Structure 1
Amino acid sequence: MVAGRLRNALMAGSALAAFTLVPLAHAQDASEGSSTTVLERLQVRGGGEDATGVADTPLATETSSEDIENAQITSIEDLGRRLEPGVGFNSSNGSVNIRGLDGARVLTAIDGIQIPYLEDGARGADGGINSFDFNSLEAIDIVRGGDSSRGGSGALGGAMILRTLEPEDLIQEGRDTGGYLRSIYDSKDSSISGFAGIAARMGNSSVLFQGGYRSGNETESNGNVGGYGPTRTEANPADYDENNLLFKLRQATEGGHTFGLTAERYDIDTDTDLMSEQTPTGNYRPGDWWGSEGTRRERLSFDYNYEAADDASFFDTANAVVYWQRLRRSSGTSGSRYTSVIGPYSRLSEVTNESYGLSGLGEKTLELGGLSHKFTVGGNFSTGTTSQYSSGQDSCATAPSFTCNFLHTNQADMPDVDSTQFGIYIDDEITIGDSRFSLTPGIRFDWYDHSPKDTAAYQVNPNYTGLPAGQDDYQFSPKLLGKYEVTSEFDVFAQWAMAFRAPTASELYLDYGAPGTYLSIGNADLDPESSHGFEIGGTYDNGSLRGRATAFYNRYKNFIDTRSLSTAEQTALGIAPGTYPFGVTQSINRASVEIYGAEFSIEKQFDNGFSLNGGLAYARGVDRDTGEVLGSVAPFKAVIGAGYATETWGANVNWIGVASVSENSTANFKAPSYGIVDATAWWKPEKLNGFSVQAGVYNIFDETYYDAVSLRDVTMNQPEEYYSEPGRSFKVSITQRF
């Protein structure tokens, strides 16, 4: 079976490469045989630029496509484990975690287009921000800290800025075509994958095709108890299929203008045999209870980039992107019930966001009043609709009972919400003479509007009493950044910045439950979250020694959370006592939360090929009213590694250590400390031009350990080992560039 998946993946990758190589080869042959004079070629770049400008800050670090390939990064979890110790992925809610915040509090953008974080509020279809393939990326920028001065709403914890491959990334110097073929095997989920990319340049035009397919099973736990029911510690069996396609067309013109078209699609579907919930005499019987998860993102964008030829232009550089994007996240179960409401049962909750928008920026350097000013002006506009729907079936129509009150479906748990966002910013990097000191004041204005729309699906909701009120608001986000170049190798910086986050559609308008059971509702009167943040740090780079150190403090106001309402509070909302005997929960604003910490990284390259590296990330979050430690903040993490490299091969060993979760943390599960060891190696034989092999063994000593961020809100119905991370695993990737 594994061999069959490998064959299919390699055939898919090879077919894609062959399909694109044939016409491009003909085009190259035709140009080589022509006697026409060839004009000087322009550099063709496009939408891979950060059209938001969010990553243009000393608070950002970059991971290149070469780093991704060498470290075998295929997921956000891998990125945080191997290259970015302060980054995590919350697998429970499908979001990236930076400095103790995740969900909608971390901004994610791809080629200047924000990927929204989707929430259905109650049925588990959360996430969507990881709807991309790492093999399609040119670089990842991680921005740490709350700063909305460029990114706008959502950048409270930081941002993950993704840039996809450009044709120039695959074309080697002196050639007009280029590409790659890659296959990866990962034992932690028995996945086989194949990827291919091809690019060609014809005069001032260039084109890129890239795609991939991955097929795998469940990500293993480190448990060893199989079978059915509450004693199972092995992960439930699963199968998934993942694919992505990326197409780019670029046209450069005289005068520094480049125009581009990008089409992208990503899709993943997972089916799981929920054996841990099945028992021979229970409500769910062996072989008849399944789960499903799915994410699909599609986009079409037109982009523009400009590089001025001289100082006479209005802008030195500028870029913009206009786009359409649709993101869908689904989660469901299906099978039969045998003891509660006997008969077939299924549920599928889907959340969809479809949006149109544009973003861009321009930069200009001027000498004014004896000072050098680098002005940056940018902004974004988007409009779209978020919708949620739960479909399904059960036997309540023929066998009604009290239990049927819990089985509400074929309805929307909130109205469709039309949302419009607009933001504009300006900042000025002021350099004072030859002092090597610069000061950058900046400010951004954001306005948003959420407008709920009545739909037939929402009207059949058992709690429907009419359409809730819309909400609009605005926010100013200033910042002040100071930088000083101590030497040509050593820089220091300090920043104060504000950030904010508008409430999501689910937080405002969720309406899930039924009379006689429970109720979870949003709050149309929620205030936006906001923060003040301070950061100081320094970077050092002399070519062989690189280091970075930062310390930060952030205070958050109007933190959005949920809590149970008292009887008096329910009455104030017009809910009669006893209508929902199992309780009412509602979105609310918490007054004040603080998160502070420090991060450090260092790497030393020796002339003999050896290298040493290390990094740490420490953060602590506290509710200032209750004194509780926030469970969303990852515990202290350290990475220490050593490596050796020649021109043709290299190897690395890393130790990753993570502290235990504080006993007074709000996390449901207090994950214990752990230390694991990973080893990786690569080989690029001289006689096989463009050929490379990467291999890694992870968790070499088969340690049983737990991801604290993903388990903070989990109610454990299985033994602990069921929730553990994979034991010893290995990954092998083979790449051929041409």
Structure 2
Amino acid sequence: MSRKLASTIIALCASFLSVNALADTFAGKVLDGEGAPLIGAVVRIPDMKETAVTDGDGCFRFILKTSKPVKASVSYVGFITDTYILKPAGIGNPQIIRMSPDETALGEVVVTATRTPKTLKDAPVVTRLISAEDIVRTDATNIQDLLTEEIPGLEFGFAMSQETSLNMSGFGGNAILFLVDGERLAGETMDNVDYNRLNLDNVGQVEIVKGASSALYGANAVGGVINLISKEDKRPWHVNINSRYRSAGNEWRSGGSVSFNVGKVYSNTSVQHSTVETVRLTDAFDTESKIHEVFGGSTVNVKERLTFRATDNLRFIARGGYFFRTSNRANYTDHYHDYSGGLRSVWDIDDSRNLEISYSYDQYDKARFISGNRTDDHDYSNRQHIIHALYSHFWGNNAITAGADFMHDYLTTYQFTEGGNHSQNTIDAFVQFDYSPVSWFNVIASVREDYFSESRSNALTARVATMFKLRPFSIRASYSGGFRAPTLKEMYMDFDMAGIQMIYGNPDLKPERSHNFNIALERTGHIRGTHLGGSYSFTANGYYNYYNSRITTTDFPGDAFREEGAIYCNEKGVKVAGLDINARYRSLMGLGLSASYNYLHVGGNSIDSQFSQPRPHSATWRIDFEKRLCSVYKFYASLSGRYLAKPVSRHDTDEAYSLWKFTFQQQVWKGININFIIDNLLNYKPDIYYWNSAPTTGRTYSIGLSMDIDDFFK
């Protein structure tokens, strides 16, 4: 009996050992794009009908009866479901899986529309979000490159002296407020900020709100707000170095970033340098073109962002930046400098209350050099000191937000009498009520008062926005007021424009005003049970803007003290009506489709002004495919394009045209990515180069390399 029992035990042990000899452990960790663990992600191995859910650290573990690599499907709400190759844990450390956000899920958090965090699908004000993944895929250097490719109804052209000029939905650059983490920018040239300052090395997402937003952001938000949000990496440490060559102008862009999380401290430092040669567009016999070359130059951009988490409820965020740009003209070189810094404290008083206080400083300088010597006749310096406070109180699905700002604005410029200076103080206060009585209805109401010391004027603005969720649709409707206060330049200018005419400021200017009405329909959903299964979103947004008391110039006959010329004045307004349509689809197989269309109708005093030559139709599109073939190789390919109709103008102007772009990006090993791009694929060249023509001489090529050093050690 004892011999039989012993034989049975030995047989069972042998059977157990033989089974485990065939089994192996498969372990991994699921993270988002910034390295944060995704808790509750579902990991499935279809061939073996095994399923696991990630724990509090994003980790999962299987014991499978195989020692060969297996295919696993990983899914998580708000991220693209994808297939990954899992290897036994014995081959290396637990495998890291990074998931990509689902562009059509609308689960991303935005802050610009309400100044409080809301998911994109719950924001009652229509917001366009450009994600970090979108930024990487476009390979854009700065905000101008990114917006040009992503947003229809928006166009960058040239103004006098070949300075960049923006037109967005019928509004000029001085009517669109650009922010970095909610902070304003100093300096302008021809009424536009220096878009080269806004490089994208450390940007996590870009939020775009079209239409007036002055009830929250005050002056300059008369036509919209574009906010660049810095990314904050969750990884213990991260090092990236990158470089790109582009054939147009032999352009080189190189840079890098270093970030780390140590205890209570997070730091991110980024550096970018670019150079480009002058590009000749026409020959010496072209007498019809308005621009004949695109001037070359160089940029240096350095940024530091430091976060100190003093307690679980209190953190301090310090930032600093330095920017330098040269523009190489035929007989001189213009130099542009910017120095910026700030400190912000964020105190989560408890689960329902939050207080934010910040100070920021920005100084933007310009100077001209001939043969290396400063001329001193084009000196310019704009300095801004801003103190900001924001308090939010939440209860249930409701919130009340109140804030106040103080800004001291100082400007000295060669365009003032004898290069003099002027300054102005601005004080404002605002309050917003966010009310959601039921899950399918939300209304937000806000009001703001601004006071300007130099003009001794004030501006009261308001906004009401509502959202109805009637499955499967969401309906948004809003009214918002906007204004733009006269700038120091517009009030005090006294400038001889190269002997052509004098331009005079006007201290009696009134603020520009706008009234924006908006209604939008949105639908999102999933396609299931077919080989085209995936997610989709569709949005149609109609808007109407009435823009009054627009600041422009008119003829000045002269008086006892001033010769004839032009003087700033207010005139009757501009009427803008339009329609935005956006559609996106992303399949589980990795196929993506997106298309955006803008219709624009502009009336009133718009033609031949800062709103000159609006295009009634424009569109952007992209078809792409992404696939991981093994644990170390993944590729992304896309064909994208942009169409612009012939502008509406009484003058000779550009014709309709389209530009196509092919992108091929590869991850060839851990952290090593290679990009190859053919821009202007169909080799389009304008017959005549007008101010808003595409500044291209034909097809261009670029190739880039990016290396995430920390991934080498994973």
TM-score (structure 2 length as normaliser): 0.74
Cα distance, 1:504 vs. partner? 1.1
Task: Find out whether 1:322 has 2:313 as its counterpart.
Answer: no
**Structure 1: which amino acid aligns with 2:622?**
G
Matches within 5 A, 1:15-54: 53=115
Structure-2 residue corresponding to 1:276 = none
Query: Which of 166, 177, 184 is the matching residue for 1:114?
Result: 184
**Greater mean deviation of Cα atoms: 492-501 or 98-107:** 98-107
Q: Cα distance 1:415–1:69, how it changes in 2: closer, same or farther (>3 A)? A: same
Task: Find out whether 1:158 has 2:224 as its counterpart.
Answer: yes
Supply the distance in 1 between the matched residues of 2:657 and 2:705 (Cα, whole angstroms). 31
Q: Deviations over 1:300-344 (max 9, x none)?
A: 111122345534xxx1x3433211210123457789xxxxxxxx9
Cα distance, 1:605 vs. partner? 1.4
Structure-2 residue corresponding to 1:456 = none
Supply the distance in 2 between the matched residues of 1:268 and 1:624 (Cα, whole angstroms). 35
Q: Cα distance 1:526–1:348, how it changes in 2: closer, same or farther (>3 A)? A: same
Task: Find out whether 1:389 has 2:414 as its counterpart.
Answer: yes
Structure-2 residue corresponding to 1:548 = 539
**Structure 1: which amino acid aligns with 2:405?**
N
Structure-1 residue corresponding to 2:642 = 656
Q: Deviations over 1:681-730 (max 9, x none)?
A: 11112xx111112221111111124999x826xxxxxxxx9x84342112
Contact map agreement 2:187 2:365 (CA 8 A) in 1? no
Supply the distance in 1 between the matched residues of 2:290 and 2:604 (Cα, whole angstroms). 34
Structure-2 residue corresponding to 1:338 = none
Query: Which of 294, 306, 310 is the matching residue for 1:253?
Result: 310
Query: Which of 442, 445, 451 is the matching residue for 1:441?
Result: 445
Q: Cα distance 1:423–1:497, how it changes in 2: closer, same or farther (>3 A)? A: same
Contact map agreement 1:59 1:143 (CA 8 A) in 2? yes
Matches within 5 A, 1:67-466: 67-92=134-159, 93-119=163-189, 127-166=193-232, 168=233, 171-172=234-235, 176-219=236-279, 221=281, 223=282, 225=283, 235-236=292-293, 238-273=295-330, 290-307=331-348, 309-311=350-352, 315=353, 317-330=354-367, 348-366=377-395, 373-389=398-414, 412=417, 415-434=420-439, 436-450=440-454
Contact map agreement 1:51 1:319 (CA 8 A) in 2? no
Contact map agreement 2:494 2:505 (CA 8 A) in 1? yes
**Structure 1: which amino acid aligns with 2:149?**
R
Q: Deviations over 1:615-649 (max 9, x none)?
A: 11122221169999951534421123322211211
Contact map agreement 2:173 2:191 (CA 8 A) in 1? no
Cα distance, 1:609 vs. partner? 2.4
Task: Find out whether 1:671 has 2:642 as its counterpart.
Answer: no
Contact map agreement 1:51 1:360 (CA 8 A) in 2? no
Larger Rg: 2
**Greater mean deviation of Cα atoms: 182-191 or 57-66:** 57-66
Which runs of no fewer than 5 residues in structure 1 stay unpaired? Answer: 1-47, 274-289, 336-343, 391-410, 451-470, 713-720
**Structure 1: which amino acid aligns with 2:461?**
S
Q: Cα distance 1:65–1:442, how it changes in 2: closer, same or farther (>3 A)? A: same
Supply the distance in 1 between the matched residues of 2:611 and 2:298 (Cα, whole angstroms). 35
Secondary structure of the 1:701 match is coil
Q: Cα distance 1:231–1:90, how it changes in 2: closer, same or farther (>3 A)? A: closer
Cα distance, 1:126 vs. partner? 6.2
Q: Cα distance 1:423–1:706, how it changes in 2: closer, same or farther (>3 A)? A: farther
Secondary structure of the 2:573 match is strand
Query: Which of 478, 502, 515 is the matching residue for 2:462?
Result: 478
Supply the distance in 1 between the matched residues of 2:449 and 2:202 (Cα, whole angstroms). 33
**How many residues align structurally?**
579
Q: Deviations over 1:469-517 (max 9, x none)?
A: xx22111111110111223x63210000100000011111111239997
Contact map agreement 1:125 1:329 (CA 8 A) in 2? no
Contact map agreement 2:614 2:648 (CA 8 A) in 1? no
Contact map agreement 1:330 1:350 (CA 8 A) in 2? yes
Task: Find out whether 1:615 has 2:682 as its counterpart.
Answer: no
Secondary structure of the 2:146 match is helix
Q: Cα distance 1:387–1:693, how it changes in 2: closer, same or farther (>3 A)? A: same
Task: Find out whether 1:736 has 2:707 as its counterpart.
Answer: yes
Supply the distance in 1 between the matched residues of 2:376 and 2:206 (Cα, whole angstroms). 36
Task: Find out whether 1:501 has 2:484 as its counterpart.
Answer: yes
**Structure 2: which amino acid aligns with 1:109?**
L
Which runs of no fewer than 5 residues in structure 2 stay unpaired? Answer: 1-109, 527-534, 629-633
Contact map agreement 2:142 2:198 (CA 8 A) in 1? no
Q: Cα distance 1:609–1:112, how it changes in 2: closer, same or farther (>3 A)? A: closer
Supply the distance in 2 between the matched residues of 1:508 and 1:440 (Cα, whole angstroms). 35
Matches within 5 A, 1:553-592: 553-565=544-556, 567=557, 570=558, 573-574=559-560, 580=563, 583-592=564-573
Cα distance, 1:231 vs. partner? 8.6
Structure-1 residue corresponding to 2:507 = 524
Supply the distance in 2 between the matched residues of 1:592 and 1:76 (Cα, whole angstroms). 29
Secondary structure of the 1:66 match is helix
Supply the distance in 2 between the matched residues of 1:155 and 1:306 (Cα, whole angstroms). 27
Supply the distance in 2 between the matched residues of 1:630 and 1:327 (Cα, whole angstroms). 26
Q: Deviations over 1:32-80 (max 9, x none)?
A: xxxxxxxxxxxxxxxx986992997533222123211111111334223
Supply the distance in 2 between the matched residues of 1:512 and 1:697 (Cα, whole angstroms). 44
Contact map agreement 2:468 2:475 (CA 8 A) in 1? yes
Q: Cα distance 1:243–1:233, how it changes in 2: closer, same or farther (>3 A)? A: same
Residue identity over aligned pairs, in percent, reads: 16
Secondary structure of the 1:135 match is coil
**Structure 2: which amino acid aligns with 1:438?**
N
Secondary structure of the 2:410 match is strand
Supply the distance in 2 between the matched residues of 1:423 and 1:731 (Cα, whole angstroms). 47
Task: Find out whether 1:600 has 2:587 as its counterpart.
Answer: no
Contact map agreement 1:382 1:422 (CA 8 A) in 2? yes
Contact map agreement 2:483 2:514 (CA 8 A) in 1? yes
Q: Cα distance 1:220–1:608, how it changes in 2: closer, same or farther (>3 A)? A: farther
Contact map agreement 1:80 1:86 (CA 8 A) in 2? no
**Structure with greater strand share of residues:** 2
Q: Deviations over 1:130-168 (max 9, x none)?
A: 4232213222111111121111000111111112343x2
Q: Cα distance 1:382–1:71, how it changes in 2: closer, same or farther (>3 A)? A: same
Cα distance, 1:607 vs. partner? 2.9
Secondary structure of the 1:67 match is helix
Structure-1 residue corresponding to 2:620 = 639
TM-score (structure 1 length as normaliser): 0.72
Task: Find out whether 1:537 has 2:520 as its counterpart.
Answer: yes
Cα distance, 1:95 vs. partner? 4.5
Cα distance, 1:345 vs. partner? 12
Q: Deviations over 1:632-690 (max 9, x none)?
A: 534421123322211211211123221101244xxx542111122211111112xx111
Q: Deviations over 1:237-274 (max 9, x none)?
A: 8542211111222111324211121111111112123x
Q: What's the RMSD between the two structures over aligned residues?
A: 3.3
Q: Cα distance 1:635–1:125, how it changes in 2: closer, same or farther (>3 A)? A: closer
Q: Deviations over 1:345-395 (max 9, x none)?
A: 96742321112112242322236xxxx5311212321113111027xxxxx
Structure-2 residue corresponding to 1:397 = none
Higher RCO (C-alpha 8 Å, min separation 6): 1
Secondary structure of the 2:438 match is coil
Supply the distance in 1 between the matched residues of 2:641 and 2:407 (Cα, whole angstroms). 44
**Structure 1: which amino acid aligns with 2:407?**
S
Contact map agreement 2:341 2:362 (CA 8 A) in 1? yes
Q: Cα distance 1:219–1:76, how it changes in 2: closer, same or farther (>3 A)? A: farther
Structure-2 residue corresponding to 1:285 = none
